[in-house]
């Protein structure tokens, strides 16, 4: 009841003309959520997928332009095989159950990361979601899978070298050109980065793109993350003064 009141207050307090255009989330704490309940870690991932559904719905309702979700990092391959296998079974489950709703809600699915490194079934499920929503014009739902920011940056550098050698680029490399070689080409940088589970680090996520993002951390584990936390993050974000190196005028 108290939470309901608080949610209503936040809904009233939020300035809908000053919403973050791009929210990026490091969805962390699935494993600890499960272990603390005496459940296997995979139960945390399963429940985490339910959180994804809820947060996607609510970001869409708020007309957020881009929602980027860190789902699997290039470092996560180092986890036990059973856990990796379970995580790799989730995209198929997610798109089987939610793709019709994404299509219906005009949401466009995008994938960042090295998708060739994902198992065939995962690639098929996600790329099918990308394909079937490619004409949609609403929120971009951007999944970071097999994503690592350092490898993204190195890949950009290598591709730039190729294009310079082939005379496709004749000018100096500026920030704009460089950004266009990243997976996130064409997307606005995240305004707000949320990380759940109490960890205060970036873990190789969007190193270039987060240069001027506002960070919001919570101890809440991802499976427990609810709309109220999303609204709290947005409200806090709106209280910040983004200076971009300038001084207040």
- Catalytic residue numbers? 28, 76
199 touches ligand IPE by CB under 6 A: yes
151 touches ligand IPE by CB under 6 A: no
Which strands sit side by side in the sheet containing 22-26, from one edge to the other? 108-112, 140-147, 66-73, 22-26, 192-195, 214-217
Out of 29, 113, 129, 190, the residue judged to bind ligand IPE by CB under 6 A = 29
CB of 139 to ligand IPE, least distance (A): 20
The entry of Mg ion, ligand IPE, none that residue 73 binds, CB within 5 to 8 Å by partner kind: ligand IPE
Out of 23, 24, 28, 229, the residue judged to bind Mg ion by CB under 5 A = 28
Listed residue (124, 39, 119) closest to 87, CA to CA: 119
Q: Which stretch binds ligand IPE (CB under 6 A): 22-30, 55-63, 123-131, 162-170?
A: 22-30
Nearer to ligand IPE, 19 or 126 (CB): 126
- CA angle in degrees (0–180, nearest 5) for 24-208-91: 40
Beta strands in the chain (DSSP E): 22-26, 66-73, 108-112, 140-147, 192-195, 214-217
The entry of Mg ion, ligand IPE, none that residue 52 binds, CB within 5 to 8 Å by partner kind: none
Q: Provide the binding-site residues for ligand IPE, judged by CB under 6 A.
A: 26-32, 70-73, 76, 87, 197, 199, 201, 203
């Amino acid at each position: 009841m108290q939470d309901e009141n608080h949610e209503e207050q936040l809904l009233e307090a939020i300035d809908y003309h000053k919403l973050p255009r791009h929210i990026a989330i490091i969805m962390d704490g699935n494993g600890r959520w499960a272990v603390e309940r005496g459940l296997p870690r995979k139960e945390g991932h399963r429940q985490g997928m339910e959180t994804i559904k809820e947060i996607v719905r609510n970001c869409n309702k708020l007309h957020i332009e881009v929602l980027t979700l860190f789902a699997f990092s290039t470092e996560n391959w180092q986890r036990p095989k059973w856990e990796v296998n379970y995580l790799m079974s989730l995209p198929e489950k997610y798109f089987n159950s939610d793709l019709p709703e994404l299509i219906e809600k005009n949401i466009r699915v995008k994938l960042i990361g090295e998708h060739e490194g994902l198992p065939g079934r995962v690639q098929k499920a996600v790329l099918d979601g990308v394909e079937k929503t490619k004409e949609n014009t609403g929120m971009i739902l951007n999944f970071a899978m097999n994503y690592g920011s350092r490898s993204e940056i190195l890949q950009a550098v290598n591709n730039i070298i190729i294009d310079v050698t082939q005379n496709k680029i004749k000018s100096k490399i500026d920030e704009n050109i460089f950004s266009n070689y990243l997976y996130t080409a064409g997307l606005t940088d995240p305004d707000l980065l949320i990380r759940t589970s109490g960890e205060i680090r970036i873990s190789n996520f969007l190193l270039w793109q987060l240069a001027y993002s506002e960070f919001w951390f919570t101890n809440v584990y991802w499976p427990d993350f609810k709309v109220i936390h999303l609204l709290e993050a947005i409200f806090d974000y709106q209280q910040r003064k983004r200076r971009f190196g300038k001084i207040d005028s």
